[in-house]
Amino acid sequence: MAILRDAVTSEFIFEGTPLQVVRLADQLGRDEVLFDAVGPAFDPDAVLRAHGETVEGLSGALGEARGSDRTSLQRAVNVAQAEANVDSIVRDAQDSIERARMDYEPGHDDDEPDIPENPGGASLMPKETEPIVTEFRQGPDGTPERSNRS
Amino acid sequence: MTPTRLGIRTPVGGDTPDFVRDIGNANADLDALIARNLGNMFQPGRLGDGDFKVNSAGATMSVNVLAGVYFVKDDGLTFSELVPIFRNVAPPGTNLAIAASNGSLPRIDQIVANIDGSLAVLTGTATAGATLDNRLGTVALGNDQERLADILIPAASTSISAVNIRDRRMWARGGFTLRLLSGGGASITTASATPAAMSSALAVRLELGGTPIRYKLRGRFHNITATNSIVMDPRVDGVASPSGGEPGATTWTTFPGSGTGGTYVEFETVYTPAARNDGGGVTSDASGSHLIQPWWSSPAASTATLTGSANDHAQLEVEEMLQGNFNNGTS
């Protein structure tokens, strides 16, 4: 199965068929995600093209088919269309990205001090604004929940 | 004390037998002898499915390694002997701590087994965009070490989940796997001239040692237009079959006939890694973790179907062969 990861943290977002991860990547924005467990030559556009050709070919054949052929073709069309429908998982995927980035510290490197040295003396700190306080509390399922208030 | 037959030291001539010394020597010599000959029968890796398996330890920055047997290659010796190591620990196994995640970059760590039977974590360098496929920032293995798993540590993460662990254990006796298109009468369909991966049910990830692999696909094929072909491509890592494999490895083609049930067909290819091939050779089945999955297309874009049933399985079969690709010349 193919895996979709957050482009910023590499955190896991979703696991599914190549078509599902590509369709989901398009919903989330391809710049926002990484493909994993698919091999180095993975071509998301080719996945979409192949799926489009299959649905088109099956639909064309369905129009001419009779009897049991028609039943099996209709089933194949339904399966192909259902696989491409990721609407029900987009919201969960967005939540996964948000959770993954909750503790993310842009530009932070464990080997460097958090506050850059400033021999010139001028303040490098951002101007003071309304403080953002992030509170963490335990959710009902044991996972941390976050709320921001200012 | 002099080595005699089989390289086992025994008292000779005027030696005075010493039970403790002689048993000790024989034990040590047998260990070395067995290890040296294991190299002719096995490759580094596990014997059983659970041996040295690396698992998530739940909501902690650590992993558990199960007990079992593992063969480790002794890189420092001329004969490249294999040394069996044993760990006997009750489930969930030996707990190994993983270094805290980087605040802004993902990292790949490796869990390794050492030839002395110990376990270790090789901490990687945090690198933007690291995935289990690209392994960015990983460090090289040392001598006398075998890789058990890659661990992806997302930026700012606080636990190791199962989906971020990739099993990297090889199979000491060679890997073999069979994957079935599940369910009686299960079928998959394509009408695409653009090659696409077959069902995920007919895909498998294997840690290969760099020996040849036998790659088989069988099932009942049908094309709605009897004279149209179906083309299968036995891919590794989604890469089109490289040149240099067995002739005919590039694609498998069938014209399944006009019957509504199609034709039961079996395809087979042997891939020989470059290092073991006299000419050319392929690169995609070199040692390492590989996704083995056939692709297919219907060049005339007519509807093609692969069906499996209880009697005519649609299945993928992959076998790693430890023999290599050698010969004694032609004269």
- pLDDT, tens only, A8-55: 999 999 999 999 999 999 999 999 999 999 988 899 999 999 999 999
Q: What pLDDT score was predicted for residue B324?
A: 64
Q: Which residues contact B280 (CB under 8 A, 6 or more apart)?
A: B243, B244, B274
**What single letter denotes the amino acid at residue A28?**
L
Half-sphere exposure of B4 toward its Cβ, with a 13 Å CA cutoff? Answer: 8
Q: Provide the angle, in degrees to the nearest 10, between the axes of the packed helices A18-28 and A87-100.
A: 70
- Residues 31 to 90 of B: which have CB under 8 A from any A CB? 59
Distance from CA of A130 to the nearest CA of B (A): 24
Q: CA-CA distance, A23 to A52, in Å (whole number)?
A: 12
Pick the closest to residue B313 from B168, B214, B202 (CA basis): B202
Q: What pLDDT score was predicted for residue B166?
A: 97
Is B154 close to A1, i.e. CB distance below 8 A? no
Q: CA-CA distance, B183 to A26, in Å (whole number)?
A: 32
Beta strands of B142-287 (E only): which ranges?
145-153, 165-167, 176-180, 187-190, 196-197, 204-208, 213-223, 230-236, 252-254, 263-271
| Reported confidence tier of residue A122, pLDDT bands at 50, 70, 90 | very low
Q: What pLDDT score was predicted for residue B78?
A: 55
Calculate the average pLDDT of chain A: 77
| Reported confidence tier of residue A67, pLDDT bands at 50, 70, 90 | confident
- Residues A70-81 have a mean pLDDT of 86
**What does pTM read for this prediction?**
0.81
Q: What pLDDT score was predicted for residue B4?
A: 55
Is B191 close to A11, i.e. CB distance below 8 A? no
Q: What pLDDT score was predicted for residue A105?
A: 74
pLDDT averaged over 10-residue windows placed end to end, chain B, 331 residues: 63 79 83 70 91 97 96 75 88 96 96 95 97 96 95 96 97 93 80 91 91 88 87 84 52 74 84 49 63 90 87 90 77 84
Q: CA angle B205-B211-B214, nearest 5°?
A: 65
Q: What pLDDT score was predicted for residue B192?
A: 93
Is B130 close to A10, i.e. CB distance below 8 A? yes
Is A39 close to B239, i.e. CB distance below 8 A? yes
Q: CA-CA distance, B43 to B49, in Å (whole number)?
A: 15
Q: What pLDDT score was predicted for residue A109?
A: 53
Distance from CA of B187 to the nearest CA of A (A): 9
Q: CA-CA distance, B73 to B144, in Å (whole number)?
A: 6
Which residues of chain B have a CB within 8 Å of the CB of A37? Answer: 132-133, 205, 291
| Reported confidence tier of residue A123, pLDDT bands at 50, 70, 90 | very low
Is B103 close to A72, i.e. CB distance below 8 A? no
Work out the end-to-end distance of chain A between its first and last CA atoms, rounded to an integer number of angstroms: 42
Contact status of B136 with chain A (Cβ, < 8 Å): no
Is A12 close to B158, i.e. CB distance below 8 A? no
Q: Which tens digits make up the pLDDT trace of A111-120?
A: 544 444 444 4
Q: State percent of chain A over pLDDT 70.
A: 71
